[in-house]
Structure 1
Amino acid sequence: MSTDDGIGPVEMAFASSIEAILDSDIDGLLDAPERPAKVTASDRLQRAFLEIVEFRRTHNRTPSSATREIAERKLGARLDGILANDERIAALKPLDEFGLLAMPERPASIDDLLGSDGSDLLDDESGLLDVSDLPARRQVYDSGDAARRERASGFEQFEPLFKQKHAELRGGTSRLLPYPGMAHIVPGAFFVLNGVMLLVAEVGETEYKKTTVRENKRERLRCIFENGTESSMYRQSLAIRLSDENGQIVVQSETPEILTDDEASGYIYVLRSLSDDPQIAGIKDLHKIGFTRGTVEARIKNAEKSPTYLMAPVKIVASYRTYNLKASALENLLHRVFADVRLELTQADHKGRAYDPSEWFVVPRTVIDQAIDLIMSGDIVGYVYDNDAGKLVTSG
Structure 2
Amino acid sequence: MTDFADNVESIVSGPPSDLQRLIDSDVDGLLDTPDKVAKVTSSDRLKRAFMEVIEFRRAQGRIPSSTTREIAERKLGSRLDGILADEEKIAALKELDEFGLLDLADAPSTIEDLLDGDDLDLLGDESGLLDLSGLPDRRSADTADSIAKRTKAEGFEAFEPLFKAKHAELADGTYRLMPFPGVHTIEQGNFFVLNGVMLFIAEVGDSTYKVVGGKQEKKERLRVIFENGTESSMYRQSLSIRLHEQDGQVLARTGHDLGEVGDADEESGHIYVLRSLSEDPQIAGIKDLHKIGFSTTSVEKRISNASKQPTFLMAPVAVVEDYRTYNLRPSALEHLLHRVFAEVRFDVTQIDQKGRDYDPLEWFIVPRKVINQAINMIMSGEIVGYLYDPDTQSLVERT
Please state which band the TM-score falls in when normalised by the shorter chain: 0.3 to 0.5
TM-score, normalised via structure 2 length = 0.35
User: Greater CA radius of gyration, 1 or 2?
Assistant: 2
TM-score, normalised via structure 1 length = 0.35
Larger RCO, structures 1/2 (Cα 8 Å, 6+ apart): 1
